[in-house]
Amino acid sequence: MNADYIIIGAGSAGCAMAYRLSEDGKHKVLVVEYGGTDWGPFIQMPGALSYPMNMKRYDWGYQSEPEPHLGGRRLAAPRGKVIGGSSSINGMVYVRGHARDYDTWAEKGAQGWSGADVMPYFKRQENWDASGHGGDPEVRGNSGPLHVQRGSRENPLTHAFVEAGRQAGYQVTEDYNGTQQEGFGPMDQTVHKGQRWSAANAYLKPALKRPNVELVKGHANRVVIEQGRAIGVEITQGGKVTTLRANREIIVSASAFNSPALLMRSGIGPAAHLREHGIEVVADRAGVGQNLMDHLELYIQVKSLQPVTLFKYWNLIGKGYVGAKWLLTGKGPGASNQFESAAFIRSRAGIEYPDIQYHFLPMAVRYDGQAAAEGHGFQAHVGPMRSTSRGAVTLNSADPAKAPKILFNYMSKEQDWEDFRTCIRLTREIFAQDAFEPYNGGEIQPGAAVQTDEELNGFIKEHAESAYHPCGTCKMGAADDPMAVVDPECRVIGVEGLRVADSSIFPSIPNGNLNAPSIMVGEKASDHILGRTPLPASNLQPWIHPNWQNSQR
């Protein structure tokens, strides 16, 4: 089998590229994906989001190595093993990130990826539902494949959260994906007509209707490289090893874990590490697998005095009602991810733009769907956005069937601990505002008794969880940067005909959830691959707090 372009991985970026590279009908595109169909209510019903990421059928099931600064805990590191990749198992939260995040990319050597450069690609991917929501049409796209909307925000707690932020002296923002990220306001979600709007629904399924796109089910073992050029992909399909050939290019979009692992198995990576596993070195790139970043978060939970939370559905009859209503009408609590209010704030004066993110949820529950025993409650997921701790993805074995070794090295810097303690204390202050007075029945966790730095550190060590935003392991940078893996056109440095385009190329981690930026990478990489002139840069300026140097809010 051969094609002009072979994309390895039908995830957020891969689906976007399958759509864009095949759009003009001139090129044959093969998409290699190991996972299966996304058919079924657990994926397609937004309210069921805690199920697919805990199902072996849809998740690679990776875990971190014992994390040395978190008491040796192994943290779950889910990645989607299904068409749509992690966009089919994620929380459907849509955050572009702050323009300054991408300005940082450009400063780190990813020229052409500044906030002004990437804004038109965010617009191109979006189909923003402005009905009743507003949103600046100069900033938001309305004709892209990716539907973005807001939840019903019927729960009074979603409004209490925003009002509490205002009462505490923070900004209120109508659209954190517009020019003003900083502040409290409504949260965007990738949901359309009550259904999860994954990259598979938005991009891949429409692309597969074209005669020049084909989905190949198989496990990518390695990229075949001859005389310094990538010419094919070796895959295992039904127990047999086959090679797919590419006439033009191969694009790796297999996730922040699997993309570097695939490059290393193909002979691209730190030479000494490859030789340890008996792999012939094709390109000695020290940065492959390094620079692993993620967001950690805590769930600050409060008991609710009023039975207005989602706990009322947390029984067999309630779940049956939610499921039936969604199946019959596409409406009700099942039609939203329930993350309907958000906030982005700065941790202290002298920080130019937000470095703390909040997801608010009108229920006290864990990500795996286990409800707090206390019954009715609500919670804020909170964490610092710009930790300087870095981890790595390395090979356990040259065997493609073996999972890579993942060590995040979370909380390795003293600043991480200080930032997390600040997060807890700022959250407590928000929940203590008058807006929550009718509902606040006392803190469930950490619990009012946990106050000193030492006590808070103990809670963080035991309870911090990944927000599932891994990135950075095939860093994009200048061609002469020894730690860069790809150049600003996503080309693997030192190998012809090979690119990487997914969250692994992020030079630094953006504010917020990573699905929107990963899709943006797929959109922009497509133009580079096709040799098109990039879209004209935006001249919109991000809102920066006028007194950021002297004031935290």
- Annotated catalytic residues are 469
User: H or E stretch including 166?
Assistant: helix 156-167
**Cβ atoms within 10 Å, residue 307:** 9
Residue 183 · residue 173 · CB < 8 Å: yes
C-alpha to C-alpha distance for 11 and 90, rounded to whole angstroms: 11
Task: For 415-479, list the strands marked E by DSSP.
Answer: 440-445, 465-466
Q: How far is CA 85 from the centre of its chain?
A: 11
C-alpha to C-alpha distance for 164 and 180, rounded to whole angstroms: 19
In one-letter notation, the amino acid at residue 402 is K
Q: What is the DSSP letter of 202?
A: I
For the chain, report the end-to-end CA distance as a whole number of angstroms: 58
* Strand bridging mode 2-8 / 29-33: parallel
95 labelled binding-site residue: no
- Number of helices (H), then strands (E), belonging to the chain: the values are 13, 25
CA dihedral 243, 244, 247, 249 (to 10 degrees): -100
**Cβ atoms within 10 Å, residue 401:** 8
C-alpha to C-alpha distance for 436 and 445, rounded to whole angstroms: 17
90 labelled binding-site residue: yes
C-alpha to C-alpha distance for 174 and 188, rounded to whole angstroms: 11
Give the tokens for residue 253.
Answer: 């979009």
Q: Which burial class, exposed, middle or buried, applies to 26 when counting CB atoms under 10 A from its CB (0-12, 13-18, 19+)? A: exposed
C-alpha to C-alpha distance for 376 and 500, rounded to whole angstroms: 45
Q: How far is CA 256 from the centre of its chain?
A: 10
Supply the DSSP string of 293-310, one letter for each residue. B--EEEEEEEEESSS-SG
**Cβ atoms within 10 Å, residue 478:** 13
93 labelled binding-site residue: yes
Give the tokens for residue 491.
Answer: 């080309």
82 labelled binding-site residue: yes
C-alpha to C-alpha distance for 178 and 234, rounded to whole angstroms: 43
Q: How far is CA 112 from the centre of its chain?
A: 22
Q: What is the DSSP letter of 515?
A: H
Give the tokens for residue 133.
Answer: 């929501």
Residue 122 · residue 516 · CB < 8 Å: yes
Three-state DSSP at 93 gives strand
Residues 6+ apart with CB under 8 A from 251: 5, 6, 7, 8, 14, 17, 490, 498, 499, 500, 501, 525, 529
- Annotated binding residues for FAD, written as ranges, equal 82, 90-93
- Annotated binding residues, written as ranges, equal 82, 90-93
